[in-house]
Structure 1
Amino acid sequence: MNSVPPELLSLRKSIDNVDAAIIHMLAERFKFTQQVGRLKAEHGLPSSDPERERVQIQRLRELATESTLDPEFAEKFLNFIVAEVIHHHERIRDES
């Protein structure tokens, strides 16, 4: 049986730390989007804001490019998050 090189263990630990940070950041982001959903429901605003989404996608693509991350991947990731946020906003609206 091959032993795992210490460098691999160290890299895996770094990945685990980044994964934890991503989860914590997503939780924080969703706290804010829940507040947005409540405000939208109170003011009769639509759950989706296509112009805001377009601007955010462009912004994220630029950040991804600056960070040497595939902008297509960044866009897919944001689209997934936005779809979930819209779903939450619709649920908040329907409960109001």
Structure 2
Amino acid sequence: MPLIIMFVLFYFLLIRPQQKRQKQVMNMQNSLEKGDKIVTIGGLHGIVDSLDENTIVIRCGDGSRLTYDRSAVRDVIEKAKSSSTNSSSTNS
């Protein structure tokens, strides 16, 4: 019985939070768009210039373009401004 309780505690304190975090990271990496301001796992700050299924091209401050794996993106600082934010409003 104590072994089962330990396993349940271990699951809820360690395994479940890690799975949730992994799912959030995958969703973030799959929702990247051109123009997003990002930070890589190496600390590089840049703007998404283009992307495909597995890679992403990042434009840096000096204008250089670097190709990375999508999995190298750690965080999205600012989402790209989309042109369709308020295009379907104003129904009176």
Structure number having the greater helix percentage: 1
- Provide TM-score, normalisation by structure 2: 0.37
- Provide TM-score, normalisation by structure 1: 0.36
Bigger relative contact order, structure 1 or 2 (CA pairs below 8 A, ≥6 apart): 1
